[in-house]
Amino acid sequence: MSAGREGNDRPGVSRRGFITSMGAGVVGTAALGARPCEAAPVPVVAAGDAVTLNVTVNGVPRRAVVEARTTLLEVLRGSLGLTGAKPACERGECGACTVLVGGETRYACMMLAVEAEGAEVTTVEGLLDGEALGPVQQAFVEKDGFQCGFCTSGQVMAVEGLLRRKKDPTREEIREGVSGNLCRCGAYAHIFEAASRAAELKRGGGR
């Protein structure tokens, strides 16, 4: 799982910080070397009250009126129609809902939409270049990094987040980078190969 940057002032808690505080559990080594994130205060709004959310999603400014208790995942899928992030465990364990917020990987099911106010959010749809696949997506195709495909979008976003921090990660760094994402089909060896191939594609001039 990707590490939060020091001094990160975005509201909320990174996937690394969440697992560090709650215990590694089923994700094993995900919390190795973890640094707790300093979370900024979240706006206090009554659960049933509606608030206006202003957020940039995949480079496009978006506005939505949401209840304060609404998660970022619900806004992305319901209000904005971006269904790449998947609802699965909905408790921060599987990683199928992984997106980037301010360039950092987040579990969208565990983040309130209001915490993303003013942020830049990237979903798997935002990695496309028109109709062309982005480097990480292309690498997953080349290396057969998926079977049933349900976890694939989250795996892709975890790798994308990793490669934005490390252009040439080691195999161990790749294993750690995707350790917060579970694959029920067990295609991990292919996922690791896809991550290495994605790094090559990006170094060769991809985004």
Assess if residue 75 is contained within a domain. yes
Assess if residue 119 is contained within a domain. yes
Q: Model confidence over 12-48: pLDDT tens digits?
A: 556 555 444 444 443 333 333 334 445 556 556 566 6
CATH code assigned at 102 = 3.10.20.30
Do 140 and 166 sit in the same domain of this protein? yes
State the pLDDT at residue 205. Answer: 73
Q: Is 166 helix (H, G, I), strand (E, B) or coil?
A: coil
- Full domain range(s) for residue 60: 50-126
CB hemisphere CA count around 48 (13 angstroms): 0
Do 93 and 115 sit in the same domain of this protein? yes
Do 91 and 143 sit in the same domain of this protein? no
Do 78 and 115 sit in the same domain of this protein? yes
- Average pLDDT across the chain, whole number: 84
Do 117 and 137 sit in the same domain of this protein? no
- Among 97, 126, 155, which residue terminates a domain? 126
Assess if residue 7 is contained within a domain. no
Q: Is 105 helix (H, G, I), strand (E, B) or coil?
A: strand
Do 178 and 120 sit in the same domain of this protein? no
Q: Model confidence over 124-152: pLDDT tens digits?
A: 999 999 999 999 999 999 999 999 999 99
Task: Judge whether 113 and 52 are in contact, CB under 8 Å.
Answer: no
Do 79 and 91 sit in the same domain of this protein? yes
Assess if residue 113 is contained within a domain. yes
Q: Which residues neighbour 39 within 8 Å (Cβ) at sequence distance 6 or greater? A: 11, 12, 13, 17
**Rounded to whole angstroms, how far apart are CA atoms 115 and 197?**
33
Mean pLDDT of 93-121: 97
Do 57 and 114 sit in the same domain of this protein? yes
Partners of residue 54 on adjacent β-strands: 63
- Among 107, 126, 145, which residue terminates a domain? 126
State the pLDDT at residue 207. Answer: 61
Integer angstrom CA distances of residue 120 from 17, 25, 91, 104, 178? 20, 30, 23, 10, 22
Do 188 and 146 sit in the same domain of this protein? yes
Percent of the chain with pLDDT over 70: 76
CATH code assigned at 161 = 1.10.150.120
Q: Structurally, how many domains does the chain consist of?
A: 2
Do 133 and 190 sit in the same domain of this protein? yes
Assess if residue 25 is contained within a domain. no
State the pLDDT at residue 12. Answer: 58
- Among 126, 148, 178, which residue terminates a domain? 126
Integer angstrom CA distances of residue 46 from 40, 64, 67, 73? 18, 17, 9, 20
Question: Residue 49: which pLDDT band, with cuts at 50, 70 and 90?
Answer: confident
Do 106 and 145 sit in the same domain of this protein? no
**Rounded to whole angstroms, how far apart are CA atoms 148 and 14?**
27
Percent of the chain with pLDDT over 90: 74
Assess if residue 17 is contained within a domain. no
State the pLDDT at residue 11. Answer: 53
Do 122 and 140 sit in the same domain of this protein? no
Place of tokens 């750690």: 176
Assess if residue 42 is contained within a domain. no
In this model, does residue 202 exceed pLDDT 80? yes
Query: pTM of whole model > 0.85?
Result: no
State the pLDDT at residue 204. Answer: 87
